[in-house]
Chains A and B, each alone.
Chain A
Amino acid sequence: MIDWWVDGLLGLMMLWLAWQALSAADLLRAVAMFVTFGLLVAIAWIRLGAPDVAIAEAAIGAGLTGALLLITIRRMEDQRRSGSQEKRRAKAD
């Protein structure tokens, strides 16, 4: 049984959030959209009668993947900063 209000809104929001996540210019914004997308997907799993999958998606798909993406963004920035410091030091020698 479909409740067009709930399911339609959920489906459309999932598609919109995915589009936003994939077309964002700023990486942090993309990850934020992706985590929100993951939470909506967890709700969709409940609508589809899959509560086990919903718990796993919320914890792993949204939570852990989001954390991994965020820490990688920070590490890349740190690497770039220390990389440019090294180059400046090498040039100064």
Chain B
Amino acid sequence: MMVTDFYALVGVGLFVMGLSALILRKRDLQRILGLNIMGTGVFMVLVTSALGQGQPADPVPHAMVLTGIVVAVSATAFALALSLARERHK
């Protein structure tokens, strides 16, 4: 199917962009952004896996991505708090 392949490729692109940012960027916030975009890329690949030829949408990957979004925001919140604590102790 065309649309699933296209969005899956976009997801892979986002994943590698986030990974490069994680490696290359110096500041904590930029790395956390990279981590979030990596996560979004993975979610995109997951959701495109839910579509099939003429099938009704598979709800299980949607549920997984929903869980993933919530866990990603709590991980982001903790990472930001950690970076604040690090600044304080420098």
Whether chain B is bound by chain A comes out as: yes
Residues of A bordering B, CB below 8 Å: 1-2, 7-8, 11, 14-15, 18-19, 21-23, 27, 30-31, 34, 37-38, 41, 44-45, 47-50, 52-53, 56-57, 60-61, 64-65, 68-69, 72-73, 75-76, 79-80, 83
On whether the beta carbons of A52 and B36 are closer than 8 Å, the reply is no
Known A30-B29, A30-B33, A37-B37; contact A53-B62, beta-carbon cutoff 8 A:
yes
Question: Could you tell me which B residues sit within 8 Å of A by CB distance?
Answer: 2-4, 6-7, 9-10, 13-14, 17-18, 20-21, 25, 27, 29-30, 32-34, 36-37, 40, 43-44, 47-48, 50-51, 57, 62, 65-66, 69-70, 72-73, 76-77, 80, 83-84, 87-88, 90
* A75 to B72 Cα, complex, angstroms: 21
Complex Cα distance A11/B41, Å? 11
